[in-house]
Amino acid sequence: MENLRNILAITGKPGLYKLVSRGNNMLIVESLVDGKRMPTYARDKIVALSDISMFTDTDDVQLSEVLTSAGKKEGLKAVAMDPKKASNDELKAWFDEVLPNWDRDRVYPSDIRKLMLWYNILVNAGITDFSIEEEEAAEEANS
Protein backbone atom coordinates (compact mmCIF):
# COMPACT_ATOMS: atom_id res chain seq x y z
CA MET A 1 0.00 0.00 0.00
CA GLU A 2 1.24 3.45 -0.86
CA ASN A 3 1.70 6.05 1.81
CA LEU A 4 0.97 9.74 1.19
CA ARG A 5 4.54 10.46 2.35
CA ASN A 6 5.82 8.67 -0.74
CA ILE A 7 3.41 10.40 -3.13
CA LEU A 8 4.93 13.62 -4.43
CA ALA A 9 3.81 16.73 -6.27
CA ILE A 10 6.54 18.38 -8.32
CA THR A 11 6.16 22.04 -9.27
CA GLY A 12 6.07 22.48 -13.03
CA LYS A 13 5.27 18.83 -13.73
CA PRO A 14 1.70 17.60 -14.13
CA GLY A 15 0.29 14.76 -12.09
CA LEU A 16 1.61 12.97 -9.04
CA TYR A 17 4.68 10.84 -8.55
CA LYS A 18 5.65 7.90 -6.36
CA LEU A 19 9.08 7.98 -4.73
CA VAL A 20 11.01 4.96 -6.01
CA SER A 21 14.51 5.53 -4.61
CA ARG A 22 17.00 8.13 -3.48
CA GLY A 23 20.36 8.83 -5.10
CA ASN A 24 23.11 11.39 -4.66
CA ASN A 25 21.38 14.79 -4.85
CA MET A 26 18.35 13.32 -6.61
CA LEU A 27 15.23 11.24 -6.24
CA ILE A 28 13.94 8.67 -8.68
CA VAL A 29 10.18 9.07 -9.09
CA GLU A 30 7.54 7.21 -11.06
CA SER A 31 4.48 8.91 -12.54
CA LEU A 32 1.18 7.60 -11.15
CA VAL A 33 -0.40 8.48 -14.50
CA ASP A 34 1.80 6.67 -17.03
CA GLY A 35 4.35 4.77 -14.90
CA LYS A 36 7.37 6.49 -16.46
CA ARG A 37 10.36 6.91 -14.18
CA MET A 38 12.58 9.98 -14.08
CA PRO A 39 15.13 11.68 -11.82
CA THR A 40 14.32 14.85 -9.90
CA TYR A 41 16.97 17.10 -8.45
CA ALA A 42 17.39 19.51 -5.56
CA ARG A 43 16.39 22.45 -7.79
CA ASP A 44 12.91 20.92 -8.31
CA LYS A 45 10.32 21.96 -5.75
CA ILE A 46 9.00 18.65 -4.45
CA VAL A 47 6.28 18.30 -1.80
CA ALA A 48 4.93 15.10 -0.25
CA LEU A 49 1.13 14.99 -0.10
CA SER A 50 1.39 14.25 3.63
CA ASP A 51 2.89 17.75 4.10
CA ILE A 52 0.03 19.62 2.40
CA SER A 53 -2.96 21.07 4.23
CA MET A 54 -5.98 23.16 3.26
CA PHE A 55 -7.29 26.31 4.89
CA THR A 56 -10.52 26.20 6.87
CA ASP A 57 -12.33 28.79 8.97
CA THR A 58 -10.63 27.37 12.08
CA ASP A 59 -7.47 25.24 11.77
CA ASP A 60 -5.76 23.95 8.66
CA VAL A 61 -6.83 20.42 7.70
CA GLN A 62 -4.36 17.80 6.45
CA LEU A 63 -4.78 16.88 2.78
CA SER A 64 -5.16 13.25 3.88
CA GLU A 65 -8.37 14.17 5.75
CA VAL A 66 -9.70 16.12 2.76
CA LEU A 67 -8.96 13.20 0.41
CA THR A 68 -10.64 10.79 2.84
CA SER A 69 -13.72 13.01 2.90
CA ALA A 70 -13.72 13.20 -0.92
CA GLY A 71 -13.47 9.41 -1.00
CA LYS A 72 -16.52 9.07 1.25
CA LYS A 73 -18.46 11.50 -0.93
CA GLU A 74 -17.46 9.78 -4.18
CA GLY A 75 -17.62 6.18 -2.90
CA LEU A 76 -13.85 5.78 -3.54
CA LYS A 77 -14.45 6.25 -7.26
CA ALA A 78 -13.12 9.01 -9.50
CA VAL A 79 -15.04 12.30 -9.44
CA ALA A 80 -17.64 12.18 -12.22
CA MET A 81 -17.35 15.91 -12.91
CA ASP A 82 -14.47 16.93 -15.21
CA PRO A 83 -12.37 19.29 -13.04
CA LYS A 84 -10.92 21.01 -16.11
CA LYS A 85 -14.35 21.87 -17.54
CA ALA A 86 -16.26 22.52 -14.29
CA SER A 87 -17.34 26.06 -13.51
CA ASN A 88 -16.10 27.78 -10.37
CA ASP A 89 -19.60 27.45 -8.86
CA GLU A 90 -19.64 23.68 -9.55
CA LEU A 91 -16.20 23.29 -7.97
CA LYS A 92 -17.25 25.26 -4.87
CA ALA A 93 -20.49 23.27 -4.52
CA TRP A 94 -18.55 19.99 -4.68
CA PHE A 95 -16.00 21.23 -2.14
CA ASP A 96 -18.81 22.40 0.19
CA GLU A 97 -19.77 18.73 0.53
CA VAL A 98 -16.17 17.56 1.01
CA LEU A 99 -14.97 20.22 3.47
CA PRO A 100 -17.92 22.36 4.63
CA ASN A 101 -15.85 24.84 6.67
CA TRP A 102 -13.24 25.62 3.99
CA ASP A 103 -11.87 29.17 3.95
CA ARG A 104 -13.56 30.83 0.99
CA ASP A 105 -11.04 33.71 1.02
CA ARG A 106 -7.87 31.60 0.87
CA VAL A 107 -8.90 28.48 -1.08
CA TYR A 108 -9.27 29.27 -4.78
CA PRO A 109 -11.13 27.35 -7.50
CA SER A 110 -7.72 26.37 -8.94
CA ASP A 111 -6.89 24.71 -5.59
CA ILE A 112 -10.16 22.73 -5.68
CA ARG A 113 -9.52 21.77 -9.31
CA LYS A 114 -6.02 20.51 -8.40
CA LEU A 115 -7.45 18.56 -5.43
CA MET A 116 -9.99 16.86 -7.72
CA LEU A 117 -7.30 16.02 -10.28
CA TRP A 118 -5.01 14.60 -7.58
CA TYR A 119 -7.88 12.62 -6.03
CA ASN A 120 -8.71 11.11 -9.45
CA ILE A 121 -5.05 10.25 -10.12
CA LEU A 122 -4.78 8.49 -6.74
CA VAL A 123 -8.03 6.55 -7.18
CA ASN A 124 -7.14 5.55 -10.75
CA ALA A 125 -3.75 4.33 -9.45
CA GLY A 126 -5.55 2.14 -6.89
CA ILE A 127 -4.63 4.32 -3.89
CA THR A 128 -7.75 4.75 -1.78
CA ASP A 129 -6.39 4.73 1.76
CA PHE A 130 -5.43 8.34 2.33
CA SER A 131 -4.63 8.05 6.03
CA ILE A 132 -1.19 8.82 7.37
CA GLU A 133 0.08 5.97 9.52
CA GLU A 134 -0.38 6.40 13.26
CA GLU A 135 3.31 6.55 14.14
CA GLU A 136 3.85 9.20 11.46
CA ALA A 137 0.96 11.25 12.82
CA ALA A 138 2.54 10.99 16.28
CA GLU A 139 5.90 12.12 14.84
CA GLU A 140 4.24 15.15 13.25
CA ALA A 141 2.50 16.03 16.53
CA ASN A 142 5.86 15.92 18.34
CA SER A 143 7.71 18.07 15.80
- Domains in the chain, CATH or no CATH each: 4-49 (2.30.30.730), 52-124 (1.10.10.1650)
Predicted pLDDT at 143:
45
Note the pLDDT of residue 15. Answer: 94
Q: pLDDT tens digits for 11-69? A: 999 999 999 999 888 999 999 999 999 999 988 999 999 999 999 999 999 999 999 99
3/66: higher pLDDT: 66
The percent of residues in the chain predicted with pLDDT above 90, rounded, is 81
Q: Summarize the confidence of residues 72-97 as an average pLDDT.
A: 95
Q: Is 60 exceeded by the pLDDT of residue 141?
A: no
At residue 120 the predicted structure's pLDDT band, cuts being 50, 70 and 90, is very high
Phi, psi of 5 (to 5 degrees): -70, -25
CA pair distance 9, 15, nearest whole angstrom = 7
Residue 135 pLDDT exceeds 50: no
Distance CA 141, CA 130 (A): 18
Please answer whether residues 48 and 130 qualify as being in contact, where contact means their C-beta atoms are separated by less than 8 angstroms. Answer: no
Give the pairing of strands 61-62 and 46-48.
unpaired
What pTM was estimated for this model as a whole? Answer: 0.88
pLDDT beyond 50 at 9:
yes
Report the alpha-carbon distance of residue 21 to residue 27 in Å, rounded: 6
pLDDT at residue 90, rounded to an integer: 96
